[in-house]
Structure 1
Amino acid sequence: MSTTRRWTALAGLCLATLLVMIDNTIVNVALPSISRDLSASMSDLQWVVDAYTLAFAGLLITGGHLGDRFGRRRVLLVGVAGFAVMSVPAALATSTTTLIAARVGLGVFAALVFPATLALLSSVFTIARERAAAFGIWAATAGVAVAIGPVLGGWLIEHSSWASVFWVNLPFAAVVTVVILAVVPAPRPAPAGRVDVLGLVLSVAAMGLLIYSVIEGPRHGWTDIRTIGGFVVAAALLAVFVRGQMRSAHPVLDVRVFADRRFAAASGLIALAFFGLFGFIFLITQYFQAVKGYGTFSAGLHTLPFAVVMAVFSPLAMQAVRLVGVATVAATGSLLMAGGFALVEIAGVDASYWGLIVWSMSAMAAGLALISGPCTHVVMNCLPADKAGAGAAVNDTTREFGGALGVAVLGSVLSSVYASGVADSAVLQRLPDGVRDIAGTSVMAGVEVAQRVPAQFTGPVLDAVRDTFVNGLHQSVWVAVVVAAVAAPAAWIGLRGASADGQMSTVSESPAALETQDSIQPASRSAVVSNVSR
């Protein structure tokens, strides 16, 4: 396969990644509009976000396995087509129930797309240096998509309704399909035995119940029998799954790979990074609109520096790994993210965007870039080529699980502090009980209430709502600060000895050694290379 075609194929796979990753956050700037049009509560809004993540993360292992078994490009194209189809009921939804159900459907097909893109990169790029760069670009694309979503969503909503954030998927999916068919090769799947149906069912049930319990835990209470019961049953299902996979001749996922310290540490670090990121994006888009008063497009545009910094630092991260090692780079990234979150603690209602907020986002983006690409590379290099789909699914599941947890936990802390603050506010206590209850459901509802009270009370009510929201923002972001700070020593310990190619090494590789490595084709991938022709 020619060099030009390899890099063109990378562009096509990155487009497919953008399609499904943008949907993680494009809906965030639409939440205020959805809240008004569909009378959605804060809990409803969290489910509009998390329903996609629940299905997406719960089915990623299955999606990766299906790609390994039936052909990654074939499964990728089915996923893109299904994604486009499910966008229609989402755009036409007239109730939160319908919208949430459609978001589940979108997540199902996204689970076919995401692991296939990363797995195909493993078969397209077989030279170590090129693969490292490709994984870095893919990881940067996944991270940049998080920031592109609010920008694109904001622009669409300012020119149309919130439904446009789903209608845009149709032309996007059509372009992705054409590009994939034109430039991405279809390696033949490795010979496989019988389908491990029980393993697939158990993986979906365990991951689905675990993520559902995480999402609902803050609402029911972490000590509620429903929450504890969900975790216990999920753990039992996961134990049965692991036991079955260790005995299976054709496992869905070779669970023994988690015994590898590097694999486990890299997967966990990705989850922790996206925990903070997704939770923060969920909060900051509401801050921009409710507190700073930005329009939907302006709110999205103000997240753009995140994408720029991520794009700049991602290739630098892969180069830094060759100089100082994965452990140092990832630990530094965790500290940068912790610092970025900590800056939010001094951001009040009147915080300067250019003087403070942009620096906070930039630190987070730089930190994520130092974690995402290097850790993705480590994860993918711990598995043989014929299990690339399963490895990609694990890598992607950690992202989505961490993201779901971030939205659930940070969103719950914010909701609790905000609702309590509204109830205790001296200004808001002057409102009728029913009106005050409405204001306590979400900050956008509070802003709406402020705009409808008599003019002389609008300013004080709006100030009280915004101050209460900012207090909740500060309390919730402390969680992200602690998580990112704890991740730094965990990265340093868990990733020690992992080199740029994912192998164990105690010293930095010299340029000469890297050049030699680039000229060697791993034997385990020779069969794949010979088949990348269809």
Structure 2
Amino acid sequence: MPPHENTGHPRRWAILGVLVISLLVVVLDNTILNVALRTLADPVHGLGATQGELEWSINSYTLVFAGLLFTFGVLGDRAGRKRFLLIGLALFGLASLLSAYAQSPAQLIAARALMGVGGAAIMPVTLSIIANVFDPRERGRAIGVWAGAVGLAVAIGPVLGGALLEHYWWGSVFLINVPIVALGVVLVALLVPESRDPNPGRVDLLGVVLSVVGLVALSYGIIDGGEHGFDRLVVWGSIVGGLAVMAWFVAHERRSDHPSLDVRLFRVPRFAAPVAIVGLVFFAAMGVMFFSSFYLQLVRGYSPLETGLLFLPFAGAQLVFAPRSAAMVHRYGGKAVAAVGLILTAVALGAFAFIDATTPLWVVLVVFFLQGVGMANIMPPATESIMSALPREKAGVGSAVSNTVRQVAGALGVAVLGAVLSAVYRADVEPALRDLPAGARETAGESISGAYAAAGQLGPAAPQLIAVANDAFVTAMHWAAALAAIVAAVGVAVVLRWLPGRPATPTAAPTPAGEPELAGTA
């Protein structure tokens, strides 16, 4: 075939637009949820959720999503990617309806888990379809647009969520997904071609069960320990049990001839390094995004809409810089671009360790902008490197690994940094609560949201409690932010040591002689 001939689908850019809409519904929901956390914690206008329940409202989605992602990628390759995309959109729309009308935190957590099932069917097939409808020479640009769509959702989500919460009840932030899903279903049915893997893999049911059980047990121990203390047997039993199940999962995957996650891939630096980078940056960033919403709405007193607008520098940076990242990689190499992106991200996350209740607002906006620029220059080169390490027909493997690690790391980031936040807050605020009534003392000691709820019943003593809670929260935020910055800094070391220094060649499939681990997946 002549080298100048484009092997992509004639409607590939229109198809990319449809896939962006499908991706928007997944990312939009999580960005909206960040702004809604404060309202969900309100016992009057929300569900009265504790900090642990709020963490589970995020993690029930992400852990189910991550546990099923790889398997659903295989099923999409087998049954048809278009068909799976339609099924995923329908499930996501149904779960959004159930979330909107949940009557308790437990119901919301369950509905969010169902939403994770739908998201797991949507996400892997979008990248797989991109890899199949685009010529390899255009794939980097297409992935840059795909990554830019994440920035668009990050931009739209907080502002839209804030506007909805200003005028409607909290359930509207989930109900908004339904018309987007409906539009996506129609456009997918009309425009997206069906595609399959000519040699699809088998489904690893035991691997799926082990991964979900292990991650849920590990997250439960971390979240519950952070909320109620790590001096209890159930906490350490859950953590150790979760780690043991995850070790069983890894051993099973190494022996299986049809693993849900081929752990042999992680022996190959050009595949493992970008996956590790994705995991480290999302571990750090998702935890910081979790507590920054409480900082803005409670400590600083901004409304949900104002909070959404304050996230715009982060979102705008993603939207502007992510599509240009592919050109930067072509010019300077993936190592240089990703290293600079991670350094900017680490600096931005570390800056939260110095932000307090009186920090000028422009400083906070600059920090959000730097974080957005940094993350915009991490995901595209990492994703392209991951996808380029596998043959074109096995694109589902690369997309599933990338997204699985991202979701697991994000969930663990929320759990671990949330646990640090809870533990430091509780230790710092406890001495000031001894003179309060028992009920108010217990509520205020759980979280800053609980302190604000308790303050509403204390009359003249309320301002003092709020001041103490704000100080304790800011101290806890500093510790969590410092840990996040350290994790991001580890990512810089991974980039400098293992990420390839020049752009990957997307047209070259790995050879069995050069990469036996990758050859096994081909």
Tell me if both proteins adopt one fold, taking TM over 0.5 as the criterion. yes
Contact 1:54 1:208 (C-alpha < 8 Å) held by counterparts: no
- Taking the aligned partners of 1:190 and 1:421, their CA distance within structure 2 comes to 59
- Secondary structure at the aligned position of 2:354 is classed as coil
2:465 to 439, 461, 464: 461
Alignment of 1:194-233 (within 5 A): 195-196=202-203, 199-220=204-225, 221=230, 224-233=236-245
1:388 matches 2:395 = yes
* Match in the other structure for 2:132: 123
- Out of 391-400 and 17-26, give the one that drifted further: 17-26
* Structure 1 pair 236–387 and aligned structure 2 pair: CA distance change class (3 A): same
Could you tell me how far 1:34 is from its partner in structure 2?
1.9
Does structure 1 residue 11 correspond to structure 2 residue 11? no
Q: 1:192 to 1:464 in 2, by over 3 A?
A: closer
Kept in 2, the 8 Å contact 1:68–1:386? The answer is no
Determine which of 314, 320, 339 is the counterpart of 1:306: 314
Equivalence map 1:34-45=2 (5 Å): 34-35=40-41, 36=43, 37-45=46-54
Among 328, 334, 339, which residue is 2:336 paired with?
A: 328
Match of 1:517 in 2: none
CA distance in 1, matches of 2:16, 2:394: 20
Q: Against the structure 1 CA distance between its residues 235 and 157, is the aligned structure 2 distance closer, same or farther, given a 3 Å change threshold?
A: same
TM-score, normalising length: structure 1 = 0.88
| Partner AA of 1:276 in structure 2 | A
Kept after mapping to 2: 8 A contact 1:41/1:441: yes
1:476 and 2:480 aligned: yes
| Structure 1 residues 490 and 323, CA gap change in structure 2 (3 angstroms) | same
- Tell me which residue corresponds to 1:133: 141
1:259 corresponding residue in structure 2: 267
The residue number in structure 2 matching 1:488 is: 492
Match of 1:68 in 2: 77
Indicate the percent of aligned positions where both proteins have the same amino acid: 38
1:254 deviates by 4.7
Give the deviation of 1:27 after TM superposition: 1.7
Q: What's the counterpart of residue 516 of structure 1? A: none
Matched, 1:444 2:453: no
1:22 pairs with 2:28: yes
Aligned to 1:514: none
Letter matched to residue 49 of structure 1? I
With 209-218 and 275-284 compared, the bigger mean Cα shift is at 209-218
What amino acid is aligned across from residue 261 of structure 1 in structure 2?
A: P
- When structure 1 is superposed on structure 2, of 337-346 and 368-377 the one drifting more is 337-346
Aligned AA (1:20): V
| 1:426-454, Cα deviation, whole Å (9 max, x unpaired) | xx443223212211222122122223322
What letter corresponds to residue 265 of structure 1 in structure 2? A
Write the distance in 2 (CA, Å) between the matches of 1:143 and 1:279.
18
Matches within 5 A, 1:343-492: 343-354=351-362, 356-425=363-432, 428-454=433-459, 456-492=460-496
How many residue pairs match? The answer is 495
Q: Please report how far the alpha carbon of residue 275 of structure 1 lies from its aligned counterpart in structure 2 after TM superposition.
A: 1.1
1:460 deviates by 2.3
Sort the Cα spacing of 1:144 and 1:420 in 2 relative to 1 into closer, same or farther, 3 A. Answer: farther
Q: CA deviation at 1:191?
A: 4.1
Whether the 8 Å contact between 1:19 and 1:172 is mirrored in structure 2 is yes
Contact 2:37 2:293 in 1 (8 A): no
Q: Deviation of residue 150 (structure 1)?
A: 2.4
Counterparts of 2:220 and 2:495 in 1: how far apart (Å)? 26
Residue 523 of structure 1 and its aligned partner are, at CA, apart by 12
Give CA deviations for 1:90-122 in whole Å, capped at 9, x if unaligned: 111111111111111000111000001111110
1:528 aligned residue: none
Change (3 A) 1:4 1:429: farther
4+ long deviations beyond 6 Å = 1-4, 520-524
Counterpart-to-counterpart distance in 2, 1:50 and 1:146: 18
Report Cα offsets for 1:322-369 as digits up to 9, x if no partner: 122111111111111110012112211011221x10111111111111
Code of the residue aligned with 1:406 in structure 2: it is: G
> Which residue number corresponds to residue 276 of structure 1?
284
Instruction: Give deviations 1:169-196, integer Å, cap 9, x for gaps.
Output: 1111001112222222222441447x34
Taking the aligned partners of 2:166 and 2:19, their CA distance within structure 1 comes to 30
| CA apart distance, 1:393 | 0.8
State whether structure 2 residue 193 is matched by structure 1 residue 185.
yes
> Are the counterparts in 1 of residues 60 and 113 from structure 2 also a CA contact under 8 Å?
yes
Which whole-Å deviations, capped at 9, do the CAs of 1:363-397 have from their partners, x for residues lacking one?
Answer: 11111111101000011111112211122111111
Letter of the 2:25 counterpart: L
**Partner letter of residue 120 of structure 1?**
I
Q: Which of 313, 316, 331 matches 2:324?
A: 316
SS at match of 1:224: helix
8 A Cα contact 1:126 1:522, kept in partner: no
Matched-pair contact (CA < 8 Å) for 1:68–1:390: no
Structure 1, 26-35 or 200-209: larger mean CA deviation = 200-209
Partner of 2:517: none
CA RMSD of superposed structures (Å): 2.2
Which structure 1 residue ranges, 5 or more long, are not aligned?
503-519, 525-534
Give the counterpart letter for 1:45 in structure 2. L
Does the C-alpha gap of structure 1 residues 2 and 320 become closer, same or farther in structure 2, counting only changes over 3 Å? closer
Structure 1 CA distance, aligned partners of 2:510 and 2:294?
A: 51
With 461-470 and 69-78 compared, the bigger mean Cα shift is at: 461-470
Give yes or no for the alignment of 1:91 onto 2:96: no
Cα distance in structure 2, aligned partners of 1:120 and 1:486: 33
CA displacement at 1:521 relative to structure 2: 9.8
Seen in structure 2, the aligned counterparts of structure 1 residues 255 and 342 have a Cα distance that, compared at 3 Å, is closer
- Deviation, 1:4, is 7.0
* Secondary structure of 2:103 counterpart: coil
Give the conservation status (yes or no) of the 8 Å contact 1:377–1:501: no
In structure 2, runs of 5+ residues without a counterpart are 1-6, 512-522
